[in-house]
Structure 1
Amino acid sequence: MAYELKTKQTDNSVIEFIEAVDSPKKREDAYQLLDIFTETAGFEAKMWGPSIIGFGSYHYKYASGHEGDAPLVGFSPRKAKISLYFAPGETKREELLKEFGKHTNGKACVYINKVADINIEVLKKLIQESITFLQKTYPAQ
């Protein structure tokens, strides 16, 4: 049975999604992140699944045969925390996160409470590193 990806790029409106965020502070942070990611990544924001704002995309194929498409970088203003999506394989990631500010780590996510807690210049470097890493690892066919 083929595995169906849940997180696919959609035509849903990024602005409508941000406007639907309950917390006014999270909404404000989402707009700030939208500007930072758009400017730094150089890609238009697109919705991926119901709740991820992604920038750019790449096609991956694992040795297991599993393959799909994913955003190069992205974020999601979730209820508890804001999730930032970066490639987990970057060598510089751990070094950059030491200077990033208040956050917690997941496998491919970095969680923050608010934009004011982090160093924006380090965020821009994390975005650039992730894109460089993924484009090198999964070159366009």
Structure 2
Amino acid sequence: MNEEQRRAIEADCERLIKLYVNLNDAQDWDAVAALYTEDARFARPSKPGEFVEGRAAILTSFTARPPRAQRHVISNIVVDVEDADNARGFSVIVLYMGDRPEDGGLPVQDPKSPLIGTYTDRLVRTAEGWRFAERVGGLDFRP
């Protein structure tokens, strides 16, 4: 693999990580789940040792949550390319969340917000493009 190919993989994987938070904030759960492989594993930052396994189960875990106002900010993304079809990712995540008011005004920020943590990812190239094979979150501070 040459330098240009490595950089292209890094860019594709970084885009996947950024797309994930945008779709998550839009609460487009079908699109979020589609970013995982069929046999992927996912652990939320609030429960890093509890894995949800499989794309269908990951989708169910998102749709089971009550809607909330939320905004993720992701930074410090580093992608390490292992080979043409495998990479590892690390990112820092900040989550602002709150309750949606009935009057349609600005949400009221949750007193536990913001949450600050990380994601460690195993990324694989599939026929559909780069996908998460494993996504493990963790919190850096207690709320």
TM-score range, shorter chain: under 0.3
TM-score (norm 1): 0.28
Question: Relative contact order (alpha carbons < 8 A, sep ≥ 6): 1 or 2 greater?
Answer: 2
TM-score, normalized by length of structure 2?
A: 0.28
Higher helix share: 1
Decide which structure has greater strand share: 2
